[in-house]
Amino acid sequence: MKYLVDLGSDLELSLAELITVYPNLEIEVVGKNYVIAEAENWDYKEAIHRLAGTRRIGELIFEGKNFEEFSLSEKIDFNKVPNKINYSINNFNLNNENVKKFRKKVLKEIKNQGIKAFLKKPSHKKENILSPSDFYKKNVDIELNLIKSKKMCVFLTKCVFNHGMYEKRDKEMPVKRYSQAISIRLARIMINLSSAKKEETLLDPFCGVGTILTEAVLMGLKVIGTDISFDCVRDSRKNLEHITNKDRKKFNIIRSDAKAIAQTFYENKLNKVAAIVSEPYMGPLIKEPLTFKEIMEIKKKLELLYKEFFFSANKILKQYGRIVFITPVFIAQNKKKFHIDMYSIIKNIDLKIVNPLFGIIKNFEMPFYYKRPDHKIGREIWVLQKFK
């Protein structure tokens, strides 16, 4: 069976997440934010809950030279459809003429069944694809997705990512994330990229208020969080107690300098972990764009911190364990970008940079880049693995 996987705004990151969690999918990269995935049996309902980078999954219901032979009633049992419906047609890469014709044909077919149908369009006029929030707000009953690949394809939407769940969870946390902090969505993508399995242990050595840890617990992992700040240890403990109903078997929060993480594990008699996932300390809060000199000073300090951390962390990571780690990208007054030199940080440490998209996206090189318009710094996301 073929599926459309709509990956939203971060194609590379979301695609890497998809194939890390579902390595058996056969992927055809069609457009800049979606792929066609082929699998015999794919539990797409589980996938939409598990993945944070995927916006919608649709099942192929038609493939042909053109849409003339397409018939919706062959694919949908109209006896089960209410007599008033909202529907939408997403155009992924077709010209408008083709879409107009298709729309007319579908509307005629629905009307012939004695059903009143209302076409729901994206709130933003320039968009051709309904956003997940529009999909839920506009109560869409049937959604069709048009894609031109080798042939003309129609995919029927089966499930759509529900961001409301994340927002609700965020609101209910006893201690909230600060404004520039990592989003729940990115935290979950990073945990998925770590390949950690249920019941395994994940460490966040710069745990802050515990965004990554709470998400990991919800995904069935056990977690250890450490932070140098007493306040953060207290805050993430509160959040973890909330999310686990105070189940102490699921989490452990300790105060520690990340540079001495191996020593902390030794003193607390902790076992090696399967994965380390973290957004570390990334320098002082930036209000105004920095000068070259300021950036160089911060960058030097951070590179030293990360180097010492990786050296220590490598000792408490299991063989084949992964580290998924964010580093900042500083944007100077003249808009020039400055990156953390990961290659020299891990030069003498037994960690290798993994490229999850190797062989899938030509010429793609790690790391992933991630920046939201309201963020003052960019983020690079690295996937490292210990092979020895």
Ligand X SMILES: C[S@@+](CC[C@H](N)C(=O)[O-])C[C@H]1O[C@@H](n2cnc3c(N)ncnc32)[C@H](O)[C@@H]1O
Which residues are at the interface with ligand X (CB under 6 A)? 177, 181-182, 187, 204-212, 227-229, 232, 257-259, 278-281
CB 326 within 8 A of CB 282: yes
- Least Cβ distance, residue 228 to ligand X (angstroms): 4
Tokens read off for 124 = 């933003």
Q: Which is nearer to ligand X, 98 or 183 (CB)?
A: 183
Could you report how far apart the first and last alpha carbons of the chain are, in Å?
A: 39
- Least Cβ distance, residue 13 to ligand X (angstroms): 17
- Least Cβ distance, residue 255 to ligand X (angstroms): 9
Q: Which is nearer to ligand X, 15 or 213 (CB)?
A: 213
- Least Cβ distance, residue 213 to ligand X (angstroms): 7
Q: Which is nearer to ligand X, 63 or 257 (CB)?
A: 257
Q: How many other CB atoms sit within 10 Å of the CB of residue 280?
A: 18
Tokens read off for 121 = 């369009």
Residue 296 backbone dihedrals phi, psi, to 5 degrees = -60, -40
Q: Which is nearer to ligand X, 61 or 187 (CB)?
A: 187
Q: Which of 343, 325, 322 is nearest to 386 (CA)?
A: 322
Largest CA distance in the chain: 74
Q: Which is nearer to ligand X, 147 or 224 (CB)?
A: 224
Q: Which is nearer to ligand X, 87 or 330 (CB)?
A: 330
Tokens read off for 242 = 């909330």
Map residue 109 onto helix, strand or coil: helix
DSSP 33-51: SEEEEE-SS--HHHHHHH-
- Least Cβ distance, residue 45 to ligand X (angstroms): 27
CB 273 within 8 A of CB 312: no
- Least Cβ distance, residue 242 to ligand X (angstroms): 14
DSSP classification of residue 334: T
DSSP classification of residue 271: P
- Least Cβ distance, residue 51 to ligand X (angstroms): 19
Q: Please identify the residue of the shown chain whose CB is closest to the bound ligand X.
A: 208
Residue with tokens 């992992």: 221
Q: Which is nearer to ligand X, 30 or 302 (CB)?
A: 302
Q: To the nearest 5 percent, what fractions of the chain are helix, strand and coil?
A: 35, 25, 40
